[in-house]
Amino acid sequence: MLLFKVSLAIFMAGSLLEMGLKLSLGDGIRSLRNIRFVVHTLLWSFVICPALAYAITLILPMQSPYAIGLILVGMAPCAPFVPRLVDKAKGDIGYTAAFMLLASAGTVVCMPFTVPLLAKGLTASAWAIAKPLLIVVLLPMAVGVLIRSKSDPFASKIMPFVKKGAGIAGLLWCILCLIIYGKSLLSVTGELAVASELIFFGIVCVGTYWLGLGLRHEQKVVLSVGVTTRNLGACLTPLLSVPDMDQRATLMIVLALPIMVIVALLGTKWFSRIGVATAVRETVSQA
């Protein structure tokens, strides 16, 4: 279990350091001036998604550990690979930087207070939850942003090494997940775990796009991809601070990885098609 925690910590820190190295602080700050985008991001990330996850646990008869896992999944938006998906879906990269800044800071600020409120049975103080989030989530990203702002060439030079290190740690973590939870993953279907996560990710992916009122298509793409993907390392962090936590809560978060990736990729393909159709209509209307 120690190797599981260490590989997870390295994967999280490396991924978020890589994210920070990619971020243009200037682009992010400029995009933060769009109040409508900021409001949509904060509402979906830290109000609607946690409330949706909590509502699903009330509607579907899941055992408490699975419910805790789903609620934690609902609290931490923005996977480290968001920029790649946004780029693939032809979203706005400048707004991607703004979203990642808001998501990272918001997760560290909100999660210590919302976890004890919504995740009944998860006994941990706000500081016990906040401390690892500060160290493993906010600090690496802040270091990456600082390096990029001071020396863009140096950031570009070290990025491949950071990416490779995080990738190796992530691969090791996935292998350990299969070793530790492989047999249990085959049995979770009877607990409605898969159904609950499919419902959650499906509603979030479609809802963020169609309810992104007042945002351009490229901004909606950033919002939807960012909120649909989850920072699973941050989701796991509160569980690692609780001794003797039921492994089914961890299992629920591990299960979110393939479901999240599949839904996000399908959403990316869908957004790309909408973007092409929108561009064609605009070209025809201007002709």
User: Would you say 103 and 37 are in contact if contact means Cβ atoms under 8 Å apart?
Assistant: no
Local confidence band at 287 (pLDDT 50, 70, 90 cut-offs): low
The answer on pLDDT for 174 being more than 90 is no
Classify residue 287: in a domain, yes or no: no
Give the distance, in angstroms, between the CA of residue 22 and the centroid of all CA atoms in the same chain: 16
Domain that holds residue 76: 2-278
pTM score, two decimals?
Answer: 0.87
Number of structural domains (the chain) is 1
Classify residue 285: in a domain, yes or no: no
- The answer for residues whose C-beta is within 8 angstroms of residue 31's C-beta and 6 or more apart is 37, 92, 94, 95, 97, 98
Classify residue 96: in a domain, yes or no: yes
Classify residue 49: in a domain, yes or no: yes
Q: What is the mean pLDDT of the chain?
A: 85
Neighbours of 61 (CB within 10 A): 9
pLDDT digits (tens, 9 = 90+) for 204-257: 999 999 999 999 999 999 999 999 999 888 888 888 777 667 778 888 888 898
Domain of residue 173, CATH code? 1.20.1530.20
Q: What is the pLDDT of residue 136?
A: 76
Q: What is the pLDDT of residue 112?
A: 87
Instruction: At 209, list the tokens.
Output: 């796009």
End-to-end CA separation in angstroms for the chain: 63
Instruction: At 165, list the tokens.
Output: 């290190």
Classify residue 177: in a domain, yes or no: yes
Classify residue 222: in a domain, yes or no: yes
pLDDT digits (tens, 9 = 90+) for 109-155: 888 888 887 877 676 677 778 888 888 778 888 898 889 888 888 98
Comparing 43-57, 60-74, 176-190, 266-280, the range with the smallest average pLDDT is 176-190
Classify residue 283: in a domain, yes or no: no
